[in-house]
Copies of this chain bind each other. A is one copy, B any other.
């Protein structure tokens, strides 16, 4: 390296502050339970602590880190607390954090194979590993006409799936000529909000997403799907895309893929399966039933950044036919032409996603799989599901509470029997203790508490303490009522 003065951080400074931050992170994870899980700052409080104008001159890095502690930390909601049971987890782990660090240090762009072959090939390779780890259909492997790619999120995966579906239904027409109405998409009332968002973005129009009814376990009713498709066809519309969910956000419901799949096959609709959180469970052979029927799917995604100890962003997105996806998204300006791409012997992932640029995200997933091994991942998934199941049992045994649905995996939906308004106050009171963080949903139009076990460092005693806290908080609220 050359001249290191001139405002740059010197290598020695980088080593010094880098190690300080490594220690800070290790310390943070060790003291994370000291903080209220849900940040207690008020709107505007963080900004008020920051200077109004950017600094004209560079500042000491130690000062910056002090501000992380003083200004930023109080504004953190601690997703990495073992007492975080809200939403779905976004769990991280040592090897994944180090994968992100290494990726940041290398600073490569993986838009083309040539711009860092390792970035592309490691990604393709690890995604083939993932197909084996979850025992997904072979058609999602890169060795046939399909393949996998890392997207930032299941939202982006759903959008890409929809764009490919749009492309297939009308040949090259949609992407080239534009939409002229009439395309219809389908998802259950419990599908993730990103499906509605994707349908809007892709120009089909949110009103052309048919919301399919669910059964008493909140899983899509296949006959309702078939009816809706029939009605739309009879009206001269063009059914195009179905999203089925393995593990809905509200209650972890699992849509019946075999029945939905057969309907899609018969009607020639693109079937996308969203297993964002629950998909990880399939590392364990005993939970692979969640993917039964996946052989009908044209595309599938799940997020190692939710339940597989891999830092956000890491969504694994698989397609059975990569050609259609690429046709929907390809661009080839002169300035990106290069011998490797023109040879046809390589994958250029820029054509598998919305953005052009891409980080080296495969590193963190590779680190996680190699550090834990498949058996290490299984161990934790089994624990989480076991503890969720115990929690559900405690709910069942308590006369004041009820279980809303039997938990299929690691998410428990439950409520106090005292009604919506009470549950709403209960949730607020629980979160205000700062000792845990839970979120809610509505199921059958009733306010429902969600308790999701999946944070990296959650242990059985965290789950047990959370349950005691919930009961005690409910009792106290009742007494005051």
Contacts and interface: CB of A to CB of B under 8 A. Distances in A.
Given A8-B94, A80-B107, A106-B76, A117 B46 contact: yes
Interface stretch (A175-183, A264-272, A293-301, A469-477): A175-183
Contact of A203 (B46, B203, B439): B203
A198 to B, nearest CB: 8
A115 B78 CA distance: 8
A257 interface: no
A57 B440 CA distance: 37
A450 B335 contact: yes
Interface string A196-218: 11001111111110000000000
A336 interface: yes
B58 A371 contact: yes
B21 A71 contact: no
A231 interface: no
A28 B205 contact: no
B6 A29 contact: no
Contacts of A56: 373-375
29 contacts: A1-B31, A2-B457, A7-B373, A7-B379, A10-B94, A15-B22, A21-B102, A22-B101, A24-B102, A25-B101, A44-B345, A45-B121, A53-B132, A59-B371, A61-B371, A68-B102, A72-B122, A76-B108, A87-B109, A87-B115, A92-B105, A96-B104, A100-B103, A107-B312, A153-B357, A176-B200, A176-B205, A176-B207, A179-B179
A356 B82 contact: no
Contacts of A115: 77, 79, 87
A38 interface: yes
Contacts of A328: 200
Contact of A107 (B23, B92, B346): B92
